[in-house]
Structure 1
Amino acid sequence: MYNPQLPSDGSHPPQGASMGSHAGVFGQRVERHGNERIRLLLKSFGLRTSLIRLKVIDALLVAAEDDRRLGVRGVHSQLLDLDIPLSFLSVREVLKRLCAEGVITFNADKSYSLHPQAAAVLNSD
Protein backbone atom coordinates (compact mmCIF):
# COMPACT_ATOMS: atom_id res chain seq x y z
CA MET A 1 0.00 0.00 0.00
CA TYR A 2 1.33 3.42 -0.96
CA ASN A 3 2.13 5.81 1.87
CA PRO A 4 2.89 9.36 0.64
CA GLN A 5 4.74 10.15 3.87
CA LEU A 6 7.42 7.51 3.23
CA PRO A 7 10.25 7.95 0.70
CA SER A 8 9.44 6.30 -2.62
CA ASP A 9 13.05 5.50 -3.50
CA GLY A 10 13.21 2.65 -0.99
CA SER A 11 15.31 4.53 1.52
CA HIS A 12 14.28 4.89 5.12
CA PRO A 13 13.31 8.23 6.63
CA PRO A 14 15.98 9.77 8.86
CA GLN A 15 15.77 8.98 12.56
CA GLY A 16 13.67 11.51 14.45
CA ALA A 17 12.04 12.84 11.30
CA SER A 18 8.67 14.41 11.87
CA MET A 19 5.80 12.85 9.96
CA GLY A 20 3.86 16.08 9.90
CA SER A 21 4.42 19.77 10.34
CA HIS A 22 2.37 19.85 13.55
CA ALA A 23 3.56 16.57 15.04
CA GLY A 24 4.37 16.99 18.69
CA VAL A 25 2.77 20.43 19.06
CA PHE A 26 0.64 19.16 21.94
CA GLY A 27 3.36 17.00 23.41
CA GLN A 28 6.09 19.57 23.97
CA ARG A 29 5.39 19.79 27.67
CA VAL A 30 5.06 16.85 30.00
CA GLU A 31 2.05 17.34 32.22
CA ARG A 32 2.69 17.45 35.93
CA HIS A 33 -0.58 15.64 36.38
CA GLY A 34 -0.65 12.36 34.52
CA ASN A 35 -3.19 12.32 31.75
CA GLU A 36 -4.40 8.97 33.06
CA ARG A 37 -5.65 10.60 36.28
CA ILE A 38 -7.52 13.23 34.31
CA ARG A 39 -8.92 10.55 31.96
CA LEU A 40 -10.27 8.66 34.98
CA LEU A 41 -11.75 11.89 36.33
CA LEU A 42 -13.57 12.59 33.08
CA LYS A 43 -14.79 9.00 32.88
CA SER A 44 -16.13 9.15 36.44
CA PHE A 45 -18.25 12.15 35.40
CA GLY A 46 -19.45 10.33 32.28
CA LEU A 47 -17.45 12.51 29.88
CA ARG A 48 -15.35 11.45 26.93
CA THR A 49 -11.68 12.24 26.97
CA SER A 50 -10.57 14.91 24.54
CA LEU A 51 -7.25 16.65 24.19
CA ILE A 52 -8.73 20.06 24.92
CA ARG A 53 -10.41 18.79 28.12
CA LEU A 54 -7.14 17.23 29.26
CA LYS A 55 -5.22 20.44 28.63
CA VAL A 56 -7.80 22.74 30.23
CA ILE A 57 -8.02 20.64 33.40
CA ASP A 58 -4.24 20.37 33.55
CA ALA A 59 -3.94 24.16 33.24
CA LEU A 60 -6.38 24.62 36.14
CA LEU A 61 -4.47 22.10 38.26
CA VAL A 62 -1.12 23.77 37.56
CA ALA A 63 -2.59 27.17 38.46
CA ALA A 64 -4.04 25.76 41.70
CA GLU A 65 -0.60 24.37 42.63
CA ASP A 66 0.82 27.87 42.20
CA ASP A 67 -2.06 29.39 44.24
CA ARG A 68 -3.40 31.20 41.19
CA ARG A 69 -6.94 31.38 39.88
CA LEU A 70 -7.65 31.48 36.18
CA GLY A 71 -10.58 32.79 34.21
CA VAL A 72 -11.23 32.00 30.56
CA ARG A 73 -8.54 34.43 29.37
CA GLY A 74 -6.04 33.07 31.88
CA VAL A 75 -6.60 29.46 30.82
CA HIS A 76 -6.40 30.45 27.16
CA SER A 77 -3.21 32.45 27.72
CA GLN A 78 -1.59 29.63 29.66
CA LEU A 79 -2.35 27.19 26.84
CA LEU A 80 -0.97 29.60 24.23
CA ASP A 81 2.19 30.04 26.31
CA LEU A 82 2.61 26.26 26.08
CA ASP A 83 2.24 26.38 22.27
CA ILE A 84 -1.16 24.70 22.40
CA PRO A 85 -3.09 26.37 19.57
CA LEU A 86 -6.66 26.41 20.84
CA SER A 87 -9.11 29.21 20.16
CA PHE A 88 -10.50 31.37 22.92
CA LEU A 89 -14.02 30.21 22.03
CA SER A 90 -13.03 26.55 22.27
CA VAL A 91 -11.53 27.07 25.71
CA ARG A 92 -14.62 28.98 26.86
CA GLU A 93 -16.98 26.26 25.62
CA VAL A 94 -14.96 23.51 27.30
CA LEU A 95 -14.96 25.43 30.59
CA LYS A 96 -18.74 25.93 30.35
CA ARG A 97 -19.30 22.23 29.65
CA LEU A 98 -17.04 21.12 32.49
CA CYS A 99 -18.98 23.46 34.80
CA ALA A 100 -22.31 22.10 33.61
CA GLU A 101 -21.12 18.55 34.31
CA GLY A 102 -19.84 19.46 37.79
CA VAL A 103 -16.14 18.84 37.13
CA ILE A 104 -15.16 22.45 37.77
CA THR A 105 -16.83 25.40 39.45
CA PHE A 106 -17.24 29.01 38.37
CA ASN A 107 -16.20 31.24 41.25
CA ALA A 108 -17.53 34.67 42.24
CA ASP A 109 -14.32 36.30 40.94
CA LYS A 110 -15.03 34.80 37.47
CA SER A 111 -12.28 32.23 37.85
CA TYR A 112 -12.57 28.47 37.56
CA SER A 113 -11.43 25.77 39.94
CA LEU A 114 -11.78 22.04 40.30
CA HIS A 115 -14.99 21.03 42.06
CA PRO A 116 -14.28 19.43 45.49
CA GLN A 117 -15.88 16.18 44.32
CA ALA A 118 -13.58 16.13 41.28
CA ALA A 119 -10.58 16.89 43.48
CA ALA A 120 -11.56 13.92 45.65
CA VAL A 121 -11.61 11.67 42.58
CA LEU A 122 -8.14 12.89 41.54
CA ASN A 123 -6.74 12.41 45.03
CA SER A 124 -8.18 8.93 45.52
CA ASP A 125 -5.02 7.30 44.11
Structure 2
Amino acid sequence: MLHSDRAGQVVTKHHAAHYLQAHAGDENHFLRQMMQQLGLRTSLMRLKVVSVLLHTPSEIGLRAQDICAALQRDVGVGLNRPNVYDVLRRLEAGGVVARTAQRTYLITATAVAHLSGQIHDVEHGPVV
Protein backbone atom coordinates (compact mmCIF):
# COMPACT_ATOMS: atom_id res chain seq x y z
CA MET A 1 0.00 0.00 0.00
CA LEU A 2 1.77 3.14 -1.23
CA HIS A 3 1.00 6.82 -1.00
CA SER A 4 2.93 10.08 -0.98
CA ASP A 5 3.54 12.02 2.20
CA ARG A 6 3.58 15.81 2.39
CA ALA A 7 7.18 15.96 1.21
CA GLY A 8 6.33 13.90 -1.87
CA GLN A 9 8.18 10.81 -0.63
CA VAL A 10 6.56 7.43 -1.08
CA VAL A 11 5.50 5.99 2.27
CA THR A 12 4.27 2.48 2.89
CA LYS A 13 2.45 0.83 5.73
CA HIS A 14 5.76 -0.87 6.51
CA HIS A 15 7.60 2.47 6.85
CA ALA A 16 5.02 3.63 9.38
CA ALA A 17 5.18 0.29 11.21
CA HIS A 18 8.99 0.38 11.39
CA TYR A 19 8.97 3.94 12.68
CA LEU A 20 6.38 3.08 15.33
CA GLN A 21 8.33 -0.03 16.32
CA ALA A 22 11.48 2.07 16.78
CA HIS A 23 9.49 4.46 18.98
CA ALA A 24 7.54 1.75 20.80
CA GLY A 25 6.64 3.95 23.75
CA ASP A 26 4.90 6.39 21.41
CA GLU A 27 3.00 3.88 19.25
CA ASN A 28 -0.25 4.14 21.18
CA HIS A 29 0.06 7.93 21.14
CA PHE A 30 0.38 8.00 17.34
CA LEU A 31 -2.43 5.48 16.87
CA ARG A 32 -4.66 7.38 19.30
CA GLN A 33 -4.06 10.66 17.41
CA MET A 34 -4.79 8.97 14.08
CA MET A 35 -8.07 7.54 15.37
CA GLN A 36 -9.11 10.89 16.82
CA GLN A 37 -8.34 12.63 13.51
CA LEU A 38 -10.62 10.11 11.83
CA GLY A 39 -13.37 10.83 14.35
CA LEU A 40 -13.13 7.61 16.36
CA ARG A 41 -13.00 7.12 20.08
CA THR A 42 -10.04 5.10 21.21
CA SER A 43 -9.96 2.00 23.33
CA LEU A 44 -7.17 -0.37 24.22
CA MET A 45 -8.69 -3.11 22.05
CA ARG A 46 -8.98 -0.82 19.02
CA LEU A 47 -5.37 0.26 19.47
CA LYS A 48 -4.19 -3.35 19.73
CA VAL A 49 -6.16 -4.49 16.66
CA VAL A 50 -4.81 -1.60 14.58
CA SER A 51 -1.30 -2.34 15.82
CA VAL A 52 -1.59 -6.01 14.80
CA LEU A 53 -2.81 -5.04 11.32
CA LEU A 54 -0.14 -2.37 10.94
CA HIS A 55 2.68 -4.74 11.86
CA THR A 56 1.55 -7.68 9.74
CA PRO A 57 3.86 -8.28 6.76
CA SER A 58 0.93 -9.55 4.70
CA GLU A 59 -0.36 -7.37 1.88
CA ILE A 60 -3.52 -9.49 1.69
CA GLY A 61 -4.56 -8.71 5.24
CA LEU A 62 -5.58 -10.86 8.17
CA ARG A 63 -8.75 -12.75 8.97
CA ALA A 64 -10.48 -12.04 12.28
CA GLN A 65 -9.33 -15.37 13.73
CA ASP A 66 -5.73 -14.52 12.77
CA ILE A 67 -6.08 -11.20 14.59
CA CYS A 68 -7.41 -13.04 17.67
CA ALA A 69 -4.44 -15.41 17.56
CA ALA A 70 -1.96 -12.55 17.13
CA LEU A 71 -3.46 -10.66 20.06
CA GLN A 72 -3.18 -13.76 22.22
CA ARG A 73 0.38 -14.55 21.09
CA ASP A 74 1.94 -11.10 20.88
CA VAL A 75 0.04 -9.08 23.42
CA GLY A 76 -1.26 -11.70 25.80
CA VAL A 77 -4.78 -10.39 25.36
CA GLY A 78 -7.47 -12.94 24.68
CA LEU A 79 -10.46 -11.69 22.75
CA ASN A 80 -13.23 -13.82 21.40
CA ARG A 81 -14.05 -13.55 17.73
CA PRO A 82 -17.36 -11.64 18.17
CA ASN A 83 -15.51 -8.90 20.08
CA VAL A 84 -12.85 -8.70 17.37
CA TYR A 85 -15.56 -8.51 14.68
CA ASP A 86 -17.20 -5.66 16.58
CA VAL A 87 -13.90 -3.76 16.84
CA LEU A 88 -13.20 -4.38 13.13
CA ARG A 89 -16.70 -3.24 12.15
CA ARG A 90 -16.25 0.04 14.04
CA LEU A 91 -12.77 0.58 12.62
CA GLU A 92 -14.08 -0.11 9.12
CA ALA A 93 -16.92 2.40 9.59
CA GLY A 94 -14.33 4.96 10.69
CA GLY A 95 -12.10 4.39 7.66
CA VAL A 96 -9.18 2.85 9.56
CA VAL A 97 -9.49 -0.65 8.12
CA ALA A 98 -11.03 -2.10 5.00
CA ARG A 99 -12.48 -5.57 4.50
CA THR A 100 -11.49 -7.38 1.32
CA ALA A 101 -13.51 -9.79 -0.78
CA GLN A 102 -11.53 -12.61 0.85
CA ARG A 103 -12.85 -11.47 4.26
CA THR A 104 -9.49 -10.21 5.39
CA TYR A 105 -8.82 -6.82 6.93
CA LEU A 106 -6.20 -4.24 5.93
CA ILE A 107 -5.13 -0.83 7.20
CA THR A 108 -6.48 1.80 4.79
CA ALA A 109 -4.33 4.26 2.86
CA THR A 110 -6.16 7.04 4.72
CA ALA A 111 -5.04 5.68 8.09
CA VAL A 112 -1.45 5.26 6.86
CA ALA A 113 -1.54 8.83 5.50
CA HIS A 114 -2.58 10.16 8.91
CA LEU A 115 0.19 8.16 10.60
CA SER A 116 2.85 9.22 8.10
CA GLY A 117 1.77 12.85 8.48
CA GLN A 118 2.32 12.58 12.23
CA ILE A 119 5.68 10.86 11.69
CA HIS A 120 6.72 13.56 9.21
CA ASP A 121 5.77 16.27 11.73
CA VAL A 122 7.87 14.62 14.43
CA GLU A 123 10.88 14.10 12.16
CA HIS A 124 10.78 17.40 10.23
CA GLY A 125 8.40 19.73 12.04
CA PRO A 126 4.88 20.64 10.90
CA VAL A 127 4.31 21.81 7.36
CA VAL A 128 3.10 25.42 7.33
1:122 to 109, 115, 120: 115
Q: Deviations over 1:71-114 (max 9, x none)?
A: 11111111111211222211110001111111111112211111
Larger Rg: 1
Q: CA deviation at 1:62?
A: 0.9
Q: Corresponding residue for 1:81?
A: 73
Q: Corresponding residue for 2:14?
A: none
Q: Corresponding residue for 2:49?
A: 56
Tell me, which stretches of 5 or more residues in structure 2 are unaligned?
A: 1-19, 120-128
More helix by share: 2
Q: Deviations over 1:10-30 (max 9, x none)?
A: xxxxxxxxxxxxxxxxxxxxx
More strand by share: 2
Q: Deviations over 1:36-55 (max 9, x none)?
A: 11001110011111000000
Q: Corresponding residue for 2:98?
A: 105
SS at match of 1:123: helix
TM-score where L is the length of structure 2: 0.67
Tell me, which stretches of 5 or more residues in structure 1 are unaligned?
A: 1-30
* 1:19-98 alignment, distance < 5 Å: 32=21, 34-63=27-56, 66-67=57-58, 69-82=61-74, 83-98=76-91
Residue 76 of structure 1 aligns with an amino acid whose one-letter code is C
TM-score where L is the length of structure 1: 0.69
CA distance in 1, matches of 2:94, 2:58: 24
How many residue pairs get aligned? The number is 93
Higher relative contact order (CA 8 A, sep 6+): 2
CA-based RMSD: 1.5
Q: CA deviation at 1:115?
A: 1.1
SS at match of 1:105: strand
